[in-house]
């Protein structure tokens, strides 16, 4: 039996699903990853035609 953590095996951490990307797909959107000046950014193309940054969409869905 092995007692490894994500720090022991970084490949496992990389394979974890992005909750914002999952939410985009859950609401019927299509994810697009764009290379921008500060790195990659995910945009969700929603069924109603809007394009929203994936984390902004996700945060708006989990407001308290």
- 42 contacts 24 by C-beta, under 8 angstroms: yes
Asked whether residue 39 is assigned to any structural domain, the reply reads yes
Asked whether residue 28 is assigned to any structural domain, the reply reads yes
Reported pTM: 0.71
CA dist 53 and 58 (Å) reads: 9
What's the number of domains the chain is made of? Answer: 1
pLDDT at 40 over 70: yes
Percent of the chain with pLDDT over 90: 69
Asked whether residue 27 is assigned to any structural domain, the reply reads yes
Closest C-alpha among 55, 57, 53 to residue 43: 53
Domain of residue 41, residue span: 18-61
For 5-33, the pLDDT digits (tens) are 445 555 455 678 899 999 999 999 999 99
Asked whether residue 36 is assigned to any structural domain, the reply reads yes
Asked whether residue 4 is assigned to any structural domain, the reply reads no
Asked whether residue 45 is assigned to any structural domain, the reply reads yes
- Give the pLDDT confidence score for residue 53 in this predicted structure: 98
Six token digits for residue 38:
């500060």
Asked whether residue 10 is assigned to any structural domain, the reply reads no
């Amino acid at each position: 039996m092995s007692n490894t953590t994500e720090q022991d095996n970084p490949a496992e951490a990389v394979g974890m699903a992005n909750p914002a990307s999952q939410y985009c797909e859950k609401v019927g959107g299509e994810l697009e990853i764009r290379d921008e000046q500060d790195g990659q950014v995910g945009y969700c193309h929603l069924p109603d035609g809007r394009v929203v940054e994936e984390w902004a969409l996700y945060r708006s869905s989990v407001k308290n």
